[in-house]
Amino acid sequence: MARRFLTAEDVRRANAPEIVVEEGTVVTPQALEVAAAAGIAIRAGGGAWKEPPPDRGPDAEAMPQRLPQLPEPRDNPALESAAIVTAVGKNRPGVLARITAEIAAQKGNVNDVSQKVVEGYFHMILTVELEPGASFETFKTALECLSSPEDFAVRVMNERLFRFMHRV
């Protein structure tokens, strides 16, 4: 196993114009400072040392194989990025149109709609399938931006949350 760290003390002790470390070595910020002040170059793998990705250990290496195998309550893996949109507010003409227009603009496909109006307030739930590769966050932000305190409120949640919570 390669050395894990290069410390300021190591740099001082090396007393050389160049220090070569194995890839994956963490050079401490203090070591970098001392090296820079003394004009010492720290190299790894043929070039200047760059912070390596964190080595999370043997268990982490096994995780990519392990995680997908954990049972997940889903019947359609294609729905990986589906969203549940809920909206509540005062009922007025064009509310549904405004929300669905934004969903369409975000290239979402509405799979299911349910709407109720009780005493002048509407309550709407939409299940929306996102385009493969579409960013959930962009979709969520775009939809939630439609909310205004005096009109209606939109909330977007990931469908996976509901699967976990309500399906065994």
Chain positions contacting another protein, by CB under 8 A: 4-5, 7-10, 26-31, 51, 53-60, 62-63, 67, 70, 74-76, 79, 84, 86, 111-112, 114, 125, 127, 136-137, 140, 155-168
Q: Kindly report the number of other CB atoms within 10 A of residue 56's CB atom.
A: 9
Shortest distance (Å) from residue 116 CB to another protein: 8
Distance in angstroms between the alpha carbons of the first and the last residue of the chain:
43
> Residue 69 or 93: which CB sits closer to another protein?
69
Shortest distance (Å) from residue 157 CB to another protein: 4
Q: Kindly report the number of other CB atoms within 10 A of residue 49's CB atom.
A: 21
Q: How far apart are CA 38 and CA 89, in angstroms?
A: 65
Shortest distance (Å) from residue 141 CB to another protein: 8
In the three-class reduction of DSSP (H, G, I as helix; E, B as strand; rest coil), residue 41 is classed as strand
> Residue 56 or 150: which CB sits closer to another protein?
56
Total residues belonging to the chain: 168
Q: How far apart are CA 69 and CA 71, in angstroms?
A: 6
Shortest distance (Å) from residue 28 CB to another protein: 4
